[in-house]
Chains A and B, each alone.
Chain A
C-alpha cells in the first residue's frame, strides 16, 4: 500500500478529477445558469445573467423557463413517456434475457464459451446499425411483412414502423446484451449443486427458483437493469429512427428545442428538469441498494 503520498504525486492523483470538474461539472453549472436566463434574439440567444445599468447591478434571472415547461402537458408527457419506455423495456429485457443468461451459464464449459462469444458479437457491433437493421425489417416492403403475407396472415402490408411499439422493440433488441452479460456474470459464478440440493430436499422447481436462484442473482439483475434503464431514459436515436409522432420522448424534445427552435434557455431548463426527474431517482435507488447490501453482509 502506498502510505505516504509524495508531493510530486499529488498532481498525478488530481488530474482526472480536475478534468471531470472542468468538462463535466462546469458545463452542467453552465446549463443551470442558462436555464434561468431570459431568452432573446442574438448570439448567444439569451440575456446575460448580470448586467450593469444606470441603477447599478441588475440580475436578469427568471424561473419563467421552468414554469413554461411545467405548465405545458406536452413537456410533462415527454418525461412520462421516457420513464415508461425505460421501465417497460427494462422489464422486457429482464424477462427475455434471464432465461438466455441462465441456460448459457448452465451449459457445458466448451459450449458455454462459444455461446458467450455469440452474445458478445452483437454487443460489440455498432449500435446505430442494429437499430437500422430493424428499420429495414419493419418496412412496408420488408421481410416481416412478406413472411406474414406468404403465410396468409395478412393480405396487405401493414405499417409496423413509426409507432411506439417499434421503439420498444428496437430498444429491447439493442439493449438486450447489456442485460444478459451482467446476469450471466453472476449466474455462472454460483454452484449448480445448490439447485440439486434444494431439489433433493424436496423443494419444487418454482420454489428453488424463487428462494435460491433469484436471490443469488439479484446483484446481476440490478446491474443489468441499471445498464438498460439509465441510457434508455435519454434515448434519442431509436425514437428518431423507428418512432413516429404517437409518443414523443424527452431526448428528442431537447434535441428539437436546441437544434430546431434554437431556444437555449428552454433546452437547458428541460435538461436540468431531466436531471431532477430522471437521474435523481436512479442515484437514490443506488444509494438505497448499497445500504441494503451493506446490511445483508
Chain B
C-alpha cells in the first residue's frame, strides 16, 4: 500500500510539473485583456487577432516549408550515412567517418550558427554563392545539424536487425537493388519515419541557428515569436501556444490509437 502511494504521489507531482505551465498558458489565451496576467473575461479575441497577423502566418508557412524540405534532405543523407557505416565492410578509415558524421551532435548551436554565418558571408565574397542570406541559407544550416541525428537513428536500427535476412535474400538470388526495396526498406521504414519526424521538429524548433543564418524574407516562426516575447508578454503568443499544443496532442493521440489497433491485430 505504501509503495502504491509513493508511486501515485511521484507520478502526480511529476506530471503536474510538466503540464502546469502549459495548461496555464492555454487558460490565459482566452483572457480578454491586453495585460496578459489580469483576468477580464473569456473571449476568442486573441485567436482572431492571431489569424489576422500576417507576419506570424507568413513565418508559420516559411517554417513549415523549411522544416519539411530540411527533414527530407536530412533523412536521405542520414540513410546514406547509416548504410555506409553498417553495410560496407571495407569502408576505409571507418572511425574517421564516424567522427565526421557524429561531431555535429556535440556542437553547441550557437557555435554552429556563428560558423555557418561567417562561412556564408565569405563564400559569397569569394564565389558569389549564396547570393544573399535567406531561406536557402537557413535550409542548408538545418540540413547540416539534422543529418547527424537521423544517421544515429538509422544506424541503430540497421545494426540491431539480423543481417542474415539480407544474406538469405542474396543466397536466394535476389538482386541487390531488390534486397533494398523488398527486405531492408520495410525493416528500417519506422526508423526512417521517426528520423524524418525528428529532423522536422528540430528545424521547426530552431531559433539560434536560424537567427544567425536568416536574411530578408526568411523569418521563421521561432524568430518572430522570440522578437515578441523577448522583452515582454504577448497575448497572441498565448493563443499560438494553445493551437500548437492542440496540434501536438491530437497527433500524439492518433499515434497512440494507431499503435493500439496495430497491437490488437
Bound Cα distance from A2 to B25, whole angstroms: 53
Chain B residues with Cβ below 8 Å from A27 are 115-116, 118-119
The answer to whether A17 and B28 touch across the interface, beta carbons within 8 angstroms, is no
Given contacts A124-B201, A129-B241, contact A258 B114 (CB under 8 A): yes
Interface residues of A in 224-257 (CB under 8 A from B): 230-231, 233-234, 236-237, 240-241, 250-251, 254-255
Given contacts A17-B97, A117-B256, A234-B108, contact A264 B118 (CB under 8 A): yes
The answer to whether B237 and A132 touch across the interface, beta carbons within 8 angstroms, is yes
In the complex, identify which listed stretch (B42-50, B51-59, B138-146) lies at the interface while the others stay far away: B138-146
> Which label, helix, strand, loop or mixed, suits the secondary structure of the B interface?
helix
Of chain B, the residue at the smallest CB distance from A251 is B110
In the complex, identify which listed stretch (A54-62, A63-71, A210-218, A266-274) lies at the interface while the others stay far away: A266-274
Of chain A, the residue at the smallest CB distance from B125 is A44
Of chain A, the residue at the smallest CB distance from B84 is A13
Kindly state whether residue A166 has any CB partner on chain B within 8 Å: no
Bound Cα distance from A26 to B21, whole angstroms: 42
The answer to whether B252 and A117 touch across the interface, beta carbons within 8 angstroms, is yes
- The number of chain B residues touching the other chain, given as a range, is 35 or more
The answer to whether A133 and B108 touch across the interface, beta carbons within 8 angstroms, is no
Chain A residues with Cβ below 8 Å from B230 are 240-241
Of chain B, the residue at the smallest CB distance from A5 is B88
- The number of chain A residues touching the other chain, given as a range, is 35 or more
Kindly state whether residue A114 has any CB partner on chain B within 8 Å: yes
Of B24, B88, B103, B176, the residue contacting A13 (CB under 8 A) is: B88
The answer to whether A230 and B106 touch across the interface, beta carbons within 8 angstroms, is yes
Kindly state whether residue B225 has any CB partner on chain A within 8 Å: yes
Bound Cα distance from A75 to B26, whole angstroms: 39
Of chain A, the residue at the smallest CB distance from B7 is A103
Chain B residues with Cβ below 8 Å from A241 are 229-230
Bound Cα distance from A79 to B59, whole angstroms: 34
Kindly state whether residue A126 has any CB partner on chain B within 8 Å: yes
The answer to whether B88 and A124 touch across the interface, beta carbons within 8 angstroms, is no
The answer to whether A21 and B118 touch across the interface, beta carbons within 8 angstroms, is no
Kindly state whether residue B69 has any CB partner on chain A within 8 Å: no
> Which label, helix, strand, loop or mixed, suits the secondary structure of the A interface?
helix
Chain B residues with Cβ below 8 Å from A130 are 21-22
Of A21, A117, A122, A129, the residue contacting B225 (CB under 8 A) is: A129
Chain A residues with Cβ below 8 Å from B238 are 136
Bound Cα distance from A233 to B15, whole angstroms: 26
Of chain A, the residue at the smallest CB distance from B28 is A136
Chain A residues with Cβ below 8 Å from B151 are 16
The answer to whether B115 and A99 touch across the interface, beta carbons within 8 angstroms, is no
Of chain B, the residue at the smallest CB distance from A252 is B110
Chain B residues with Cβ below 8 Å from A143 are 24, 37
Kindly state whether residue A164 has any CB partner on chain B within 8 Å: no
Bound Cα distance from A283 to B225, whole angstroms: 34
The answer to whether A141 and B248 touch across the interface, beta carbons within 8 angstroms, is no
Instruction: Give A156-194 as 1s and 0s: 1 = Cβ < 8 Å from B's Cβ atoms.
Output: 000000000000000001001100000000000000000
Of B24, B147, B251, the residue contacting A16 (CB under 8 A) is: B147
Interface residues of A in 16-60 (CB under 8 A from B): 16-17, 19-21, 23-28, 30-31, 34, 44
Kindly state whether residue A219 has any CB partner on chain B within 8 Å: no
- A to B CB contacts below 8 Å, 24 in the list: A1-B87, A3-B89, A3-B90, A5-B90, A13-B80, A15-B77, A17-B81, A17-B100, A24-B107, A31-B114, A99-B10, A117-B252, A121-B249, A124-B251, A126-B241, A129-B244, A136-B238, A137-B21, A141-B37, A176-B17, A231-B109, A251-B208, A271-B110, A279-B107
User: Which residue numbers of B lie inside 8 Å of A, CB to CB?
Assistant: 7, 10-11, 14-15, 17-22, 24-25, 28, 35-38, 77-78, 80-81, 83-84, 87-91, 97, 100-101, 103-112, 114-116, 118-119, 121-122, 125, 140-141, 143-144, 147-148, 151, 163, 166-167, 170, 176, 201, 204-205, 207-208, 222, 225-226, 229-230, 233, 237-238, 240-241, 244-245, 248-249, 251-253, 255-256, 259-260
* Interface pairs A-B: 5 shortest CB-CB: A234-B108, A27-B115, A133-B21, A27-B119, A16-B77
User: Which residue numbers of A lie inside 8 Å of B, CB to CB?
Assistant: 1-3, 5, 12-13, 15-17, 19-21, 23-28, 30-31, 34, 44, 96, 99-100, 103-104, 106, 113-115, 117-122, 124-130, 132-137, 139, 141-143, 173, 176-177, 230-231, 233-234, 236-237, 240-241, 250-251, 254-255, 258, 264, 267-268, 271, 274-275, 278-279, 282-283
User: With contacts A1-B170, A124-B251, A139-B36 known, what are 19 further pairs, Cβ within 8 A?
Assistant: A1-B89, A12-B80, A16-B147, A23-B119, A23-B141, A25-B100, A96-B17, A99-B10, A124-B248, A125-B244, A126-B222, A128-B225, A132-B237, A133-B21, A230-B108, A231-B108, A241-B229, A275-B107, A275-B111
